[in-house]
Each structure stands twice: as C-alpha cells, then as structure tokens.
Amino acid sequence: MSSSVVVVGSFNVDHVWRCESLPAPGATIAGRYSTGPGGKGFNQAVAACRAGAETSFLCALGDDAGGATARDLAAQDGFALIAEASSEPTGTAGIYVDARGRNTIVIGPGANAALSTDFVQQQALLASAKVVLVQLESPVQTIEAALAVAREAGVTTVLNAAPADAPSSIGLLKLADVITPNETEFAALLGRHVGERVDANDVAALDGASLHALCRKLVGNGTVVVTLGSVGVFVSHADENLRGDTQPYYRVGAEQVQAIDTTGAGDAFNGALVASIAQVPDAPFGRHVRFANQFAGRSTEKEGAAAAMPRFTPADAEVK
C-alpha cells in the first residue's frame, strides 16, 4: 500500500449543539442537536482526499459503533483507514456552535489516547508517502515517532500543533518541515518553548517583521504558517529555504465567504495544504497556501466538520 498523503491522528464521534450564543457557566440554553464524524486527524484526512490526494489515515478505534462508523465513512470517501484496535471507546467530542459560527469543544480522547508508538513504527507507508501530516490529539510520543519515520525517509512532514494545550517539545517541532498553528496555538508554543509572552489576540495585528522574527525563534529551519481566521494566513520561511517563494515572509488574505460554521476550517486548511503539496510538488509554497485558503473558506459555508469538506482540487482552484 502507498499513499501520497498519510495523516496520523484522531477520530471522534462529534455531538454538536447549535444555539444562538455559547453557553455561559451555570446557564441552561436551548439548541439544535446533530451528530457526525470528527477528530482533527479524520477531518484532515477527509479534506486531503476530497482535495484530490491519494490518502491514508492512521488512528486508533474502539470496538464499537463509533469505530464502525469511521471505517464506513473512510470507505465511502475513498481513503484507506488503518486502525490500531483499542479496548477504550472510540473518541468523542461535544461541540457548541453559536449563530456567528464560533465554537467551543470538549473532547473525550478514548481510543485516540491509546495510539501507540509500536503501531505507527510498523507502518511502511509513512516512509513512502509524499507528505505526512500530524496533529496533537494523539499521544505526543506517538506523533513524534511518526514524524521521525517520515523524516528519516526524506518525506515532507507537516505538524498542525493543535490543540493549544496539548503537550509538545522542541524535538517534535524540529521534526516538522512545516508547522501550522493558529494564533492561540502559536502564542502557546512561544510561551512554552521560547519564553516569549504574546497575547493570542495580538498576533494578527503584529507587523510582518515582528511576527517573522517570532516564527524564526520558534523554529530556526522550518516554515511556519500561522492561520489567523478571518484575517487570513501569515507565512514565515527560513532564509535558506523559501520553498519556491520569492520572499521569506508574507500574508495571504482570507477568502470572502458566507461562513455559517467554522468548526472544521483549520482541519480543512491543513488537509488541503498537504494535498496541494503532494499533487503539485514543484509549485511555490504560496500557491499551496492560497489553495488551502480557498478550500477552508468553502468548508465554512456548510454545517459540520468532516461532512463540510468540499470536493475541490488544486486543478479546480483559481490560484497562480
């Protein structure tokens, strides 16, 4: 088996309540309930597949209805799902979405927390992929092992350093060719690994040179892509590796969309980014970012996370 994109990460059964405003402590409010597939890893695998990349997803699942759902949905979308069996229940998430599309999420890791180092190290497809994408909803030592296998084989490695409160290490960051935090995750990484205290709410307003300098402190040799929601994206390269771009740092504005649910937008961006890198490897990095921006924007125009991912490939995109 081989795939151009391999995603290592989590699958959750999402339980979603849509309400006018996010619940405050002690409040009881009315909402509309739905359920469906989620988890950062699964969302990103769906996005990569629907963005045109041959995709495989490595995860851990319980022997339950949630695990069966994951396998069925992967088969329907057309990507390979390779799961480590766990005695824990399949992961779950409780999600509240307000009328403006903002969300809060509580995760029950379940089987996701049991994804083992031994399992990922046995997967030969990590060394034969074009891109390996990981997140931090699985044990950090397992994620580090997956990146190490890929890095040793010369595979491009991408770390979506999410969620913000997940453990990480400098060693983990060094194994990633590209890291893709949002502003909250970026601020958390700076505080944890650089000793720089930056308010997440101030990240988007920083001038380009200052933001680039912070990125370079965080990862000396890698590329940092800071996703900034409605403000767009900031890209910072090491001077010695511009990945086909003509400048070491720049911003890409957000797509103009009618957003109704931003729950899976970050996952859409990451899945589309690696799909573009895998399919158009000789293109400048900025082209991949602009495609991922378009893909993520479209994902917010439908409700849901994995279910909202559009079918939209780099060949369809209006990017240069």
- Kindly list the catalytic residues: 267
Whether cis (ω within 30° of 0) applies to the bond prior to 163 is yes
Q: What is the chain's alpha carbon radius of gyration, rounded to the nearest angstrom?
A: 18
**8 A C-beta contact, residue 257 and residue 298:** yes
- 314 Cβ neighbours under 8 A, 6+ residues apart: 51, 52, 275, 276, 279, 280, 287, 291
Q: Are 23 and 96 in contact (CB under 8 A)?
A: yes
Instruction: Pick the closest to residue 297 from 288, 307, 281, 310 (CA basis).
Output: 310
46 closest CA partner among 78, 71, 14, 68: 78
Beta 5-8 vs 55-62: how paired, if at all? parallel
Question: CA angle 251-254-260, nearest 5°?
Answer: 155
Give me the residues paired with residue 227 across strands: 182, 233
Per the CB < 8 A criterion, the answer to whether 180 and 135 are in contact is no
